[in-house]
C-alpha cells in the first residue's frame, strides 16, 4: 500500500490549554481506504511519543519507510482499510510536517524553537477534530491509539462524546504516575543540559542537541521493554569475547541502546520531544472532576475496547483496569483484554496473534454495526 | 466448558428469573452465549468476566461486554450493589476460593443466580457405588483432567447457604431430560439453579 502525505492549513486562531494562542497552523496527515458516502467508516489512529502520521503503508520514493502500525492497519489487516477510512495525523507540535517548534513563527519570521507553546492531549483532540470537520466526518467509527495515542482516544470520548462511536485504548493509563513523570524528567534534563540545546534555539546555531536526545531515547527505550525481553534478546552478551576494562561498548545491550539513541537523534526534534513528554505528564482528565475519572467520563457516549499487556511496567494492566473501572461505573459498554505478552510496553506495536485477532474481531463488530 | 448445559434449558430458566432491562454481571461468561441470550430476550445490560483469551474474543464476537479477569482474585473493579443480578453459571464447582467468590457476588449483586451440576444425581451415585469417579453428561471429565474440583450436591449447597448468610429465593432442579422436578431433587436432579440474596 502506497501512502501519500496530505496537508491542510487552518488559518484561524487556536487557543491552547496553556493559555497560548497560535495564529493558524498546518497539519500533515495520511489516509488509507475510502470514506463511504455517509462518512461513517472513518477511523482515527492517534500516535504516541515518537511516531507520526505515517501509520501504514510505504512511500513510493522510500519503500523502506514503513508506517509505524503497518502490521495492524492495511488491506485485510485487523484494521482493514478495505472497509474503513483510516486517518493518521501528525500532532500539533510535532516534527514530521505539522506546525511545531521547527516551523516559522509568523510574528518573528524565525523558527519558534524554545518559544513554541506547550501543547496538551486536549489541544490535540481539538486540532484532530477540526481536521475531521474539514474532511466531512461527523462521527468516527472508532478513535484508536496505543500509549499516548490511547490517552488521546480516551480524551476524545470526554471532549467530543458525540463524535466517537468506539474508542480503542491500548497500553494507556488515566494519568502518569510519579515514576512515569520521573523518567520523562530525566529524558528532558538530558536534552536541556546538552550545551547544544541553547534554550531550544539550537536551529539558529546550526546544531542539534544530539547527545541529549540520544540519552533521552536510551532511557525511554529501557522503559518500553521488559527486563525479560531485554534479557532474552541481549542477556549479558559481549560484543567481543573478553572484558576490556574500559568505557568502550562491551555489552551488546550498550551497543543496541547507543544505536537506538543515534537513530533517534538523527530523526527527531528535541523541542518536540520535550513538549510531547510534557503533554504526557499533563494528561489527567480526572483533574477537572476532583480526581474522579468516572465523573470525567460521565458524558461519554462511546463503546470501548481497552487492552493492556501483562509485562508492560510503564503503563501496567492495573492502569488500564482503572480506566475500565471508571467506564463500568458509568455503565458504558466496555470490553477489556489483558494480553499475555513478554515485550513490555512495546508489545502494543508487536504482531501478536491473540492481540491482533481481538482487534480484528472488535473491528468486525464495528463493521457489522455500520451495515 | 466446565459442565454441559442441558440444551440451553438452563438459559431459559435463568432468563425467567431475571427482570426486563436488568443490570447483569456474568462470572465465567465463556463465549458470552448466556449474556447474549439475556440481551436478546430480557434486554439486559452488563458485563461478562472471563479469563481465557479465546473465550474473551468469542465474547467480543458475540456482541457482549467482556472483562478479562480472574474471578478468584475478587471483583474489586465493581462497586457494591451495582448489578441487579450476578450470575455464576456452571462454574461454582470449578473455583478454588468458593467462599470469597460467593461473598463478592453478594456484595456486587442485589441478587445472585448460581447453577451447578448436582453430584448427588442418582447416576453419579451408581458410578461411585461401582467404584468409579462419576463421568456423565453434566460432569463430562475424567478424574485426571476435570476442572470440577469442588463438586457438590444440592444438600451440600443448602447447608452452605445456611452457614453463609444466603437467603434462597428460588430453587429450580432439572432432571436428566431438562424438566423441573420437585420430588427427590438431590437424587433425581442433574442440574440445580438457585436465586438468592443476602440474609
Share the mean pLDDT of chain A.
97
Closest residue of A to B56, CA-based?
Answer: A337
Instruction: Indicate if A54 belongs to the active site.
Output: no
| pLDDT, mean of residues A6-22 | 97
Report CA-CA distances (Å) from A136 to A38, A83, A125, A163, A303. Answer: 9, 18, 16, 12, 22
List alpha helices for chain B, DSSP H.
Answer: 9-16, 33-42, 53-61, 98-108, 122-129, 154-163, 185-188
Give the model confidence (pLDDT) of A85-144 as tens digits.
Answer: 999 999 999 999 999 999 999 999 999 999 999 999 999 999 999 999 999 999 999 999
Give the model confidence (pLDDT) of A165-211 as tens digits.
Answer: 999 999 999 999 999 999 999 999 999 999 999 999 999 999 999 99
pLDDT at residue B135, rounded to an integer: 94
A6-15 and A21-32: which strand pairing? Answer: antiparallel
Instruction: Indicate if A123 belongs to the active site.
Output: no
Instruction: Indicate if A345 belongs to the active site.
Output: yes
Q: Is the pLDDT of residue B2 over 50?
A: no
Q: Is the pLDDT of residue A282 over 50?
A: yes
Residue B188 banded pLDDT, cuts 50, 70, 90: very high
pLDDT cut 90: percent of chain B above it: 93
Give the model confidence (pLDDT) of A53-75 as tens digits.
Answer: 999 999 999 999 999 999 999 99
Return d(Cα A348, Cα A183) in angstroms, integer: 20
Among B53, B60, B77, whose Cβ lies nearest the Cβ of A365? B60
Whether B60 and A324 lie within 8 Å, measured CB to CB = no
Of the candidates A276, A277, A294, which has an alpha carbon nearest to the alpha carbon of residue A285? A294
Give the model confidence (pLDDT) of B87-113 as tens digits.
Answer: 999 999 999 999 999 999 999 999 999
Give the model confidence (pLDDT) of B127-148 as tens digits.
Answer: 999 999 999 999 999 999 999 9
Give the model confidence (pLDDT) of A234-274 as tens digits.
Answer: 999 999 989 999 999 999 999 999 999 999 999 999 999 99
Beta bridge partners of B26: B48, B87
Of the candidates A30, A213, A214, A68, which has an alpha carbon nearest to the alpha carbon of residue A146? A68
Residue B9 banded pLDDT, cuts 50, 70, 90: confident
CB within 8 Å of chain A, chain B residues 178-197: none
pLDDT at residue B7, rounded to an integer: 52
pLDDT at residue A50, rounded to an integer: 87
Residue B13 banded pLDDT, cuts 50, 70, 90: very high
Whether A335 and B60 lie within 8 Å, measured CB to CB = yes
> Which domains can be identified in chain B, with CATH numbers?
9-118+148-198 (3.40.50.150)
DSSP element (H, E) containing A159: helix A148-159
A142-146 and A166-170: which strand pairing? Answer: parallel
The reply to whether ipTM tops 0.85 is yes
Residue B5 banded pLDDT, cuts 50, 70, 90: very low
pLDDT at residue B109, rounded to an integer: 98
Give the model confidence (pLDDT) of B26-85 as tens digits.
Answer: 999 999 999 999 999 999 999 999 999 999 999 999 999 999 999 999 999 999 999 999
Query: Does the beta carbon of B56 lie under 8 angstroms from any beta carbon of chain A?
Result: yes
Chain B contact set for A324 (CB, 8 A) = 67, 77
Catalytic residue among A47, A53, A96, A345: A345
Give the model confidence (pLDDT) of A310-365 as tens digits.
Answer: 999 999 999 999 999 999 999 999 999 999 999 999 999 999 999 999 999 999 99
Helix (H, G, I), strand (E, B) or coil at A24: strand
| CB burial readout B167-186, b (16+ within 10 A) else e | eeeebbbbbbebeebeeebb
B24 CA: distance to closest CA in chain A (Å)? 11
Query: Does the beta carbon of B45 lie under 8 angstroms from any beta carbon of chain A?
Result: yes
pTM listed for this prediction: 0.96
Whether A365 and B61 lie within 8 Å, measured CB to CB = yes
Can you list the positions of beta strands (E) in A4-95? 6-15, 21-32, 42-46, 73-74, 79-80, 85-89
Helix (H, G, I), strand (E, B) or coil at A39: coil
Query: Does the beta carbon of B77 lie under 8 angstroms from any beta carbon of chain A?
Result: yes
Residue B3 banded pLDDT, cuts 50, 70, 90: very low
Closest residue of A to B23, CA-based?
Answer: A331
Amino acid at each position: 500500500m502506497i501512502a501519500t502525505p496530505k496537508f491542510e492549513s487552518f488559518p484561524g486562531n487556536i487557543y491552547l490549554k496553556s493559555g497560548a494562542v497560535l495564529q493558524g497552523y498546518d497539519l500533515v496527515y495520511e489516509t488509507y481506504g475510502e470514506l463511504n458516502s455517509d462518512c461513517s467508516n472513518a477511523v482515527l489512529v492517534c500516535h504516541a511519543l515518537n511516531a507520526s502520521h505515517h501509520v501504514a503503508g510505504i512511500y513510493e520514493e522510500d519503500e523502506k519507510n514503513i508506517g509505524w502500525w503497518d502490521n495492524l492497519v492495511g488491506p485485510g489487516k485487523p484494521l482493514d482499510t478495505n472497509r474503513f477510512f483510516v486517518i493518521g495525523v501528525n500532532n500539533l507540535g510535532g516534527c514530521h510536517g505539522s506546525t511545531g517548534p521547527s516551523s516559522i513563527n509568523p510574528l518573528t519570521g524565525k523558527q519558534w524553537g524554545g518559544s513554541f507553546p506547550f501543547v496538551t492531549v486536549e489541544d490535540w483532540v481539538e486540532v484532530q477534530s477540526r481536521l475531521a470537520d474539514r474532511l466531512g466526518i461527523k462521527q468516527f467509527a472508532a478513535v484508536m491509539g496505543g500509549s499516548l495515542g490511547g490517552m488521546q482516544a480516551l480524551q476524545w470520548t470526554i471532549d467530543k462524546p458525540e463524535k466517537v462511536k468506539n474508542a480503542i485504548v491500548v497500553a494507556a493509563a488515566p494519568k502518569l504516575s510519579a515514576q512515569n513523570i520521573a523518567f520523562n524528567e530525566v529524558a528532558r534534563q538530558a536534552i536541556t543540559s546538552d550545551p547544544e540545546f541553547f534554550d531550544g534555539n539550537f536551529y539558529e546555531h546550526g546544531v542539534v542537541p544530539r547527545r541529549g536526545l540520544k540519552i533521552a531515547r536510551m532511557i525511554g527505550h529501557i522503559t518500553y521493554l521488559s527486563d525479560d525481553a531485554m534479557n532474552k534478546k541481549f542477556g549479558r552478551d559481549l560484543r567481543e569475547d573478553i572484558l576490556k576494562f574500559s568505557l568502550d561498548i562491551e555489552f551488546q545491550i550498550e551497543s543496541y541502546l547507543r544505536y537506538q539513541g543515534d537513530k533517534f537523534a538523527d530523526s527527531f526534534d528535541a523541542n518536540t520531544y520535550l513538549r510531547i513528554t510534557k503533554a504526557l505528564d499533563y494528561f489527567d482528565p480526572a483533574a477537572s472532576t476532583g480526581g474522579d475519572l468516572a465523573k470525567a467520563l460521565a458524558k461519554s457516549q462511546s463503546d470501548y475496547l481497552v487492552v493492556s499487556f501483562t509485562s508492560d511496567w510503564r503503563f501496567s494492566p492495573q492502569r488500564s483496569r482503572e480506566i475500565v473501572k471508571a467506564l463500568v461505573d458509568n455503565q458504558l459498554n466496555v470490553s477489556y483484554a489483558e494480553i499475555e505478552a513478554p515485550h513490555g510496553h512495546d508489545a502494543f506495536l508487536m504482531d501478536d496473534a491473540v492481540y491482533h485477532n481481538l482487534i480484528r474481531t472488535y473491528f468486525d463488530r464495528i463493521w457489522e454495526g455500520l451495515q | 466448558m466446565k459442565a454441559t448445559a442441558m440444551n440451553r434449558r438452563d438459559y431459559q430458566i435463568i432468563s425467567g428469573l431475571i427482570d426486563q432491562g436488568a443490570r447483569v454481571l456474568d462470572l465465567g461468561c465463556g463465549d458470552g452465549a448466556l449474556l447474549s441470550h439475556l440481551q436478546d430476550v430480557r434486554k439486559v445490560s452488563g458485563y461478562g468476566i472471563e479469563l481465557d483469551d479465546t473465550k474473551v474474543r468469542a465474547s467480543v464476537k458475540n456482541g457482549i461486554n467482556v472483562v478479562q479477569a480472574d474471578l478468584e482474585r475478587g471483583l474489586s473493579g465493581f462497586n457494591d450493589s451495582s448489578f441487579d443480578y450476578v450470575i455464576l453459571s456452571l462454574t461454582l464447582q470449578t473455583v478454588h476460593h468458593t467462599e470469597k467468590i460467593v461473598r463478592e457476588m453478594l456484595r456486587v449483586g442485589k441478587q445472585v443466580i448460581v447453577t451447578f451440576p448436582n453430584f448427588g444425581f442418582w447416576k453419579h451415585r451408581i458410578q461411585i457405588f461401582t467404584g468409579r469417579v462419576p463421568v456423565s453428561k453434566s460432569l463430562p471429565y475424567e478424574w485426571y483432567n476435570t476442572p470440577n474440583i469442588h463438586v457438590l450436591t444440592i444438600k451440600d449447597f443448602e447447608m452452605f447457604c445456611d452457614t453463609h448468610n444466603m437467603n434462597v429465593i428460588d430453587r429450580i432442579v432439572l432432571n436428566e431430560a431438562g424438566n423441573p422436578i420437585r420430588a427427590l431433587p438431590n437424587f433425581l436432579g442433574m442440574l440445580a439453579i438457585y436465586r438468592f440474596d443476602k440474609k
